[in-house]
Structure 1
Amino acid sequence: MTHREPLPADMFDELCPSSLLPFRFGDKWSALIVRCLEDGPRRFSELRVPLHRVTPKVLTQSLRALERDGLISRTAHADPRPRVEYALTPLGRSMLEPLYFACEWAAEHWDELIDARERSL
């Protein structure tokens, strides 16, 4: 297994522009999962660090949906210790560029999005 830097726990804190996107890539968490897998395969426990607001059940459902749609792959390794890793497929990687632009758009329109949400409360 290649050593990768751990995912930061605050990767998707409350002030992350991706939480303000008025459109979704799949379900609520799919875009965030795709971003977590951007730098290579990750185990479920690694994904849980930045996605701590997602229940394990919902994270599992999102991972299964992404796998069903062909955006991620799930690989079970038997040795030396059993583990499962999730990775982006080529199709999933093709989402990174539009996702990047969507996040940039949300960052540019941050104040407008916040104002609109506060008015609707």
Structure 2
Amino acid sequence: MTAIVAVASCSGLGDSPEERAESGVITAEIQEALAQRPEVVRVEVGYQNNISNSASASVTATLKAGADFDPFLDEAVRLVWLSKLDPLGSIRASAIDAEDIHRGTTRHLNPDDKAELERKYGPRPPG
């Protein structure tokens, strides 16, 4: 049986403790949904909105040996896009193979990709 390690991290929607707690809940929900996928060994979802990393969501995962990265990355991007993380300026989703760390891929999406994301997943929910 494969162990799933899930750790959510965030650096707040804004400065208030309530906003930081809200972003933590949202990232934990996304992380839990992704952790349920059969190909996932480990996943971490984070959100940062600070001076050095503005409105950035990240998903980092290790997938079972030989797993197809594309379905996982599509689902990760979809869950982040349709979440209530607000503001959302960029999404970075990465996956590596559990047995070959040289086999992996990353998708990085930013505001220029908004039309494509809306076409594929629908509009973002109101903030």
What TM-score do the two structures reach when normalised by structure 1? Answer: 0.32
Comparing both chains, which one has the higher relative contact order based on Cα–Cα distances under 8 Å and sequence gaps of 6 or more?
1
Larger helix fraction of residues: 1
**Which structure would you say has the larger Rg?**
1
Give 1 or 2: higher strand fraction: 2
